[in-house]
Structure formats: C-alpha cells, structure tokens
Structure 1
Amino acid sequence: MTSEYNDSQQTNEQPPIRNEFASKRIVKRDFWLIPAYAGFNMVLIIMLLSMTMRTLTYLFGPMPENQFERSLMSWGQIYTLIGQCLILLLFYLMHKKTIIPIAMQRFKDLKKHIILIIIVFVVMYLLLGVYGWFIELLPEKYQFDDTVNNKTIEQLFTIKWLWPILFLDIVIITPIVEELLFRHLIIHELGKKLTYGAMYVVSILVFAGLHVIHATSPFEIGPYIIMAIGFVVAYHFSGRNLATTITLHMANNFISFISIIIPFILGK
C-alpha cells in the first residue's frame, strides 16, 4: 500500500521498512499495471470466452439464446475475477520483498483514520441521495433509475451460484485493483512530477469516465464523480494512505452488493 507517510511513523523498536514509494522518484515499473489491466481484463477475457463458448458448443451443440447469454455472463465473470487476481499478483511480484510489511503498516495506521472514513462515507451517501433527487427534476430523456453499469452488474446476480464469485470480485478484489490504478498510479506516482492537485482531478475524471462508457444519460456520471471525490478526499486527508481508500471503497461496494442481493434473497 502506498502513502506519503515516511517510515518515521514507526516506533524506534521496529526496524525501518524499506519503502521505495516514499521516494520522490516515480516507481516506473508500477505502470505495467496499465497494460496488464487492459490485457487481463479485456484481451484475455475475450480470448478465453471465445475459446470456452466454442468448446461448449462443440461438446454439447448449439444452446438456446437465453442459456447462451447466461453461460457467457457466468464464464465472463469467472475470467474477470481471474484477470483481477493476475493484476494483483503482478503488483505483488514487482514488490514481493517489501509490499507485505508496508501493507501491514498502512492497515495498522487505519485506526487513525476511522472517523475520516465514516464521515466521508456518510457525506458521500447524502450527496448521492441529493443527486438522485436532482435527477428526478430533469427532463425525462435525461432521467435514469440506475446507471447502465449497475444494471449490468445486477444481471449477474440472477445467476445465484455466481454470488460468492461476485462477492470476491466486487467487494474484495476490485476495490484493491481500482485503488492501485486510480489513486496509487495516477495520484501518488504521477503526482510526484505533475503535482498532486492536478492528479486529484485526473483521478476523479478517469475513474468516473471508465464507469459510464455505456451510459445512456450524460448525468449517469454524477454518482461516480461523487464517489471518486469521496475516495480522493479520504486519500488526501489520510496522508495518501492507500489502505484508507481501499477500506472506504470496500465498504461502499459491500453496501452496493447487499442492496442488490437482498431483493433476490427475498424473491422480489
């Protein structure tokens, strides 16, 4: 986990942790995460899906359209989780000698930022509520009951055996991967050369933009901008402690996961 904290925060009894992230020099090899994200989350998934569906069709014959779509979604989610895990594995291998003690120290420091996480979380959801009210005042063509991104995710929950995989992906793995990309790379590393203030803005826009690629209303970007601002605020006021935003991101995604799964459990 990265942060502008220096190892001076450790007690005198502890040996200092070698932390190259605290250096003013950009950790250039970390930017391999960007092509890795494109490769593992896009190219690899498309290739594996194509091979899988061709194999299933060869073995069992053509499937009805509905069954084909459900199979496509199921395998796509499995490969998505694998791709996300490969990204984390790559990051670990690039820093295997130091990342575990650094991460442990950052999460130990979380107790200093619990109030910050709670405040940002509450304010974020209040703003999302206000934004939802604002959307209802817009002309009907701009209104939406949920973002396309969320609707796509909700479709996956119709396949109940995927729920454990969805939990691992949505609540655990995706927050870590996205925080590495949008906070660690864009803000912490690029900010060393391009100023942190500018990279805060870039991080917000890139995060929000990538979540509304298939949006039908331009206002669908609003909820993601609010969330991105919340993550950036928590990141800034925690001294750029990535463990803080990972925790906040996980909490946000956990609430989303629960809000989606409860209606399915209740049969609504």
Structure 2
Amino acid sequence: AELNHDAWVRHLRSVGRDQWPAWANISQVTVVPFYDRAGLIYETLGTLNDALAQEILITFIVVILMVMHLRSSWLIGSMLPLAVLLCFIAMKTFGVDANIVALSGIAIAIGTIVDMGIVISENILRHLDEAPPEVPRLEVIHRAASEVGSAVLTAVATTVISFLPVFAMIGAEGKLFRPLAFTKTFALIGSILIALTVVPAAAHILFCGRISGRKLRAVLFGLIAAAGAALGVYGVTLGSFLITASGAALLLFGLYNIFKQSLPPRFDKA
C-alpha cells in the first residue's frame, strides 16, 4: 500500500516529539563544506573599501593643492562624501548589493564627481570677480551656476545614457556588469544633484559670507592641519607610507598657511 504523506505529516504534528519514531528525529543527510569562499570575499571587500576611502582622501588633497583656493577646495572636496552617501542610499533603496563590482563603479565615478564641482565653483569665482560691487552676490552666483548647469547636466546625461545597454544585459554578463552600471549611475546622478543645488548655495555662504576671510582661513587651515596630523598617525599605525606622507603634506600645508603672515619676507619668498 502507498504511504499517505499528508496523513502522516498531520499525525506527526498532532503528537509531541517524544512520541515520534526514532527514525523521524534523525536526519540522514550530512552537509560537509569543501570550499568556503566567505573569508576571501570579506577580505576582498575590506581591501576595496580601504582603497575607496584612500582614493577619496587623495582626491581631496589633490584638489586643495591644485586649485589653491581654500574655500572652493573645501566646497569641491565636500562633494565626494555627499555623492558617495547618496549612492549608498540609492543602492539600499533599489536593492543593489555592495559587492566588488558595485564598489568599483563608485571608485570609477569619483573623478567625474569632482569635475562637476570644479566647473561650477570656478565659474562662480570668475563671475564674482568680474561682477560690479553693486550687483547682488546671490544673483551673480545664480547666473554663474545657470550658465554652466546645462553643460554639466549634458555631460553627465551622456555618460548615464551610455550605460543603458549594460542595464539590458541578461544571464551571467548581466549579473556581473549591472551592479557597476547601477552604482556609477547613482554616483553621477548624486553628483549632479549636489553640484546644481548644494554647491551654489554653499558657495554663497563661503564666498560671500560675513565671516572674516582671515578668520575663516585660519579655522579651515587649522582643521586641515589637524586632519593631516590625525591622518599621519593613522598611517603610521597601519604602516602605510602613502597615508603617512599624505598626512604630513596636509599638516605642513596647513601650518604654513596659518603662520604665513608671521614669516619673514625673505623666508616667505623662498
């Protein structure tokens, strides 16, 4: 006679486990892991996270040293963590896993994120220098941001549109490359939102605020020196020459600009 599985399951559920047959309590299946890649995956993700943080830090240092305008450098550098934050929020919202390929997309988009801020900030500074004193600063900043806003938006749109074929991929190729396309697109969209909304408003506060320029410079350079000292100590702890050298460069850069007015003229020229 054939066993009635439904009746047998109902019978087991109606009685206690102590009344079950011995063979019903013991599983005859044994799972033996023979290749566990969890440790390798977590180690690789940790390495990529460290590389991403160092890339953001180095980009921030390069912007400060190359632009040579502290307020705009601070404004441009602040776009990096904000854009990455928006990217992670979008990844959480749309259910994109933070795997190796996805995080690589963020790393690739960092250069473009900085470009948006540089274009907007430099145009605002140029318009502020050329505008007559009687023209309202807010109107000047709005005109400067509007002048390059369409060009910046077009540049980002062309990059995002170029990834549309990647979103249409299926199978193994889609699983491999779609996370990268998602994260880079999220980072670019976040950067353009910040560049067109946050950067002009922050530029009005930083470039046209009532805070004394000398006091603001002293505070900002002091923060840079403190960050450089902390970064140098962190680099020594990790044994990383690149992080230690970057921290030392930030520390010296901040201290030099803090005490620049107190230096003798001959030493300052040297």
Q: Normalising by the residue count of structure 1, what TM-score does the alignment of the two structures yield?
A: 0.25
Select the structure of larger CA radius of gyration.
2
Q: Normalising by the residue count of structure 2, what TM-score does the alignment of the two structures yield?
A: 0.25
